[in-house]
Amino acid sequence: MEPAIRMQPGKDRQVLVCRGTGCESQKANIIYSNLEKELDKMGLSGSVEVKFTGCHGFCQQGPTVMVMPAGTFYCNVNPDDAAEIVEMDLVKGQPVERLLFLDPKTKDRVLNFRDMKYFNPQRRIVLRNCGFINPEDIDDYLATGGYDGIKKALGMTQQEVIDEMKRSGLRGRGGGGFPTGMKWEFANRSVADQKYIICNADEGDPGAFMDRAVLEGDPNSVLEGMMVGGYAIGATKAYVYVRAEYPMAYERTLIAIGQARERGFLGKGIFGSNFDFDIKVKLGAGAFVCGEETALMASIEGRRGMPNPRPPFPAIKGLFGKPTNINNVETFANIPVIMTKGGDWFASVGTEKSKGTKVFALAGKINYSGLVEIPMGTPLRQIIEDIGGGIPNKRKFKAAQTGGPSGGCIPFSHFDVPMDYENLTQLGAIMGSGGLIVTDENTCMVDMAKFFLSFTQKESCGKCVPCRLGTKKMLEIVTAVSKGEATLQDIDQLVELAEDVKAGSLCGLGQTAPNPALSTVRYFRDEYEAHILRKECPARVCVRLLKFEVNEENCKKCGACLPACPAEAITWKKKEVARIDKEKCIACRSCILACRYHAID
Amino acid sequence: MKDNLQEIFSRHHGTRDALIPILQDIQAEFGYLPPEAMDAAGKFCRISPVEVYGVATFYAQFKFDPVGRNSIMVCQGTACHVMGGARILEEVMNQLEIKPGQTTKDARFTLETVACIGACALAPAMFVNKETHGRMKPEKIAEILNGAGN
């Protein structure tokens, strides 16, 4: 599972500091420089190396610091902790107990990351190097066997590379799940004087961050995957289209490309072959629809990012009118491994029709948010209960939302579903790019549908009518439900309209925008009905249906609501039921969230 | 302004596909897209002003009015939504007395929302200039806003 990590000559230990977006925003950069200073002070600079890495995936307890090769894993590290880590761990050889991961069930401190339930069940192919290598140093990538895949590919014919990809069974990780080998074959068959490869790093699903982590943690693996793709289809020019909201991913990709060019890995006749290949980076400008292939290409061309009807498919007529192949970041990151270990090896991981692994971005009502890479077919329950550590505050799991604004939810009744393309599609959720948002009993599914519809409605580019008007109308209906102003017929109309928008929209945005609404109606119709018939929001989220009155029967007189109220609207005395002054109440729901006994209606 | 624009143009080819990168550079320089800069970019890329305007208005990133000295961004992605991001936004709106997309009268703050920056493990998150504030609570907002530059 661990890659070969490069160590500076003469040194025998490494301190790896995660500097992905999550940890960096919590001062990982200062931790890094403090560690260097402390090591210097203790005279250990000659034997211990401090290295910064991309994301380990355990974002919930960041910033994280790891001592290798021992594997000692420190969580929630503060810049001030650097001195203690150096003095205790690196000088005296004793781990800093209080910074070790605390297993909430056994109450034991876990010394080694290899023994942690979060990492243990994972199988890391895409994230193989993330958290272990310095993403800004190409030699680190080379030490892990980097660029061996493209070297091997260059010794094969284009068709042999495509056949290897087909054997692997790899399917597009951006959401569509189309077989990558077939996609490459189409682009390969197109005859043109110029072809293009594009890496889609416009990770638009709000709640997914695996593509960002790969570019921040191991950009060279994506570049190598693109080279293999370029060789297979006969493209000499390539683009990485990165979301504007990911400045660090953009920077590190640029650095990786610069270093690859310096080594001659990009440019004319790479690796001694007669294959020319170069990569440019384009920064998106904030439009969700640009994750759609044809809209993305319009954006690279300097136009409004609006989709075009297909056919012609990009493999025939794509960027600047030339045959183009677009794959997602995670797809490309798989490819170097497939080339070195072979398609059959890759196909041995996963299920019959879904091969390899999938990276999920676990977030929401879960103890350990972060990145999780598991073999396809791993049951949802294992992801949430074992790896993710379950739901916080002893609340109950309600549903997992996958695929973001294009996806749907998996309710508790399907908690054991093996996660692969087929099963998720059958349940009306989709694999999508891998966002996995966990919800508990305090999440309202009508509100969830409203959230996603307001997102897609806002992001709809307006080119085709079903999407432009349909998303707006669907949002109106769901909003009316959330206010208790809808009728039962409105649910039927919502479903009917949703089917029409799916069938009639021009691109993936509109074709999938109805999914969150359809899926919540399918599994949580009772919640819709409660809003409509009883004017009640069971999860106590939809503000218009809340009374903000204390239910005297349920109230345990604990007073937890008192400090939670920012408006001083609550009065409470020991052993008395709390009261809410409606004149002062600002309907912020703070008391409801603070109450463990569902005592506020 | 002319010199700054010349310097920006010198980094690009005057082709259509350079338009968005040029607009991004202009915004990085001025904080927004001044009309005369958009015109100049159009001339440089040989695109009509109306098309430049059409492209610029399509993308959420581009701003057409001068911005405040501090940028406040409140994440409204899915993870942040589930964890109460709407309450954070509401509280920031109350305290600054502006809506997303607006700038305070003293030009100290511009408020914006973002549909996920991928710091989902820190949800709900907000950003003051480039600094991230994770696991936000409404009561922490006043202090954070006070701590921003004048």
Mutation for A interface: B82, B113, B135, most A CBs within 10 A: B82
Residue A488 in tokens? 């039962």
Chain A residue at shortest CA distance from B60: A286
Out of A299, A435, A589, the one facing B20 most closely (by C-beta) is: A299
What's CA A463's distance to the chain center, in Å?
Answer: 28
Mean pLDDT, chain A, whole residue set: 94
Over residues A527-564, the pLDDT tens digits come to: 999 999 999 999 999 999 999 999 999 999 999 999 88
Cβ contact A361–B83 (<8 Å) = no
A19-59 pLDDT, tens digit per residue, is: 988 888 889 999 999 999 999 999 999 999 999 999 989 98
Closest CA relative to residue A402, chosen from A392, A390, A372, A393? A372
Q: Is the peptide bond before B66 cis (omega within 30 degrees of 0)?
A: no
Calculate the dihedral angle through the C-alpha atoms of A337, A275, A222, A201, rounding to the nearest 10 degrees.
Answer: -140
Question: Which residues does chain A have within 8 Å of residue B48's beta carbon, measured at their own beta carbons?
Answer: none
Cα A450 to chain centroid distance, Å, stands at 21
Look at residue A1 in the predicted model and tell me its pLDDT. Answer: 63
Interhelix angle A488-504/A465-482, rounded to 10 degrees, is 160
pLDDT of res. A601: 86
Three-state DSSP at A364 gives strand
| pLDDT higher than threshold 70 for residue A317 | yes
Give the separation between CA A499 and CA A514, rounded to whole angstroms: 8
Q: Which residues of A touch B58 (CB under 8 A)?
A: 287, 304-306, 461
DSSP state of A588: -
How many other C-beta atoms can be found within 10 angstroms of the C-beta atom of residue A397?
20
B137: nearest CA partner in chain A: A590
Global pTM exceeds 0.90: yes
**Whether the predicted pLDDT of B119 surpasses 80:** no
Over residues A326-378, the pLDDT tens digits come to 999 999 999 999 999 999 999 999 999 999 999 999 999 999 999 999 999 99
pLDDT of residue A132: 96
Task: Categorize the per-residue pLDDT at B117 as very low, low, confident or very high, splitting at 50, 70 and 90.
Answer: confident
pLDDT category at A393 given cuts 50, 70, 90 is confident
Contact call for residues A133 and A3 (beta carbons, < 8 A): yes
Q: Kindly state the percentage of chain A with pLDDT values over 90.
A: 85
Interface A:B, Cβ pairs < 8 A: 139
Nearest to B118 among A212, A287, A451 (CB): A212
Chain B contact set for A437 (CB, 8 A): 78-79, 82
* Side chain identity at residue B49, one-letter code: P
**A541 torsion bin: left (phi>0), alpha (psi -120 to 50), beta (else):** alpha
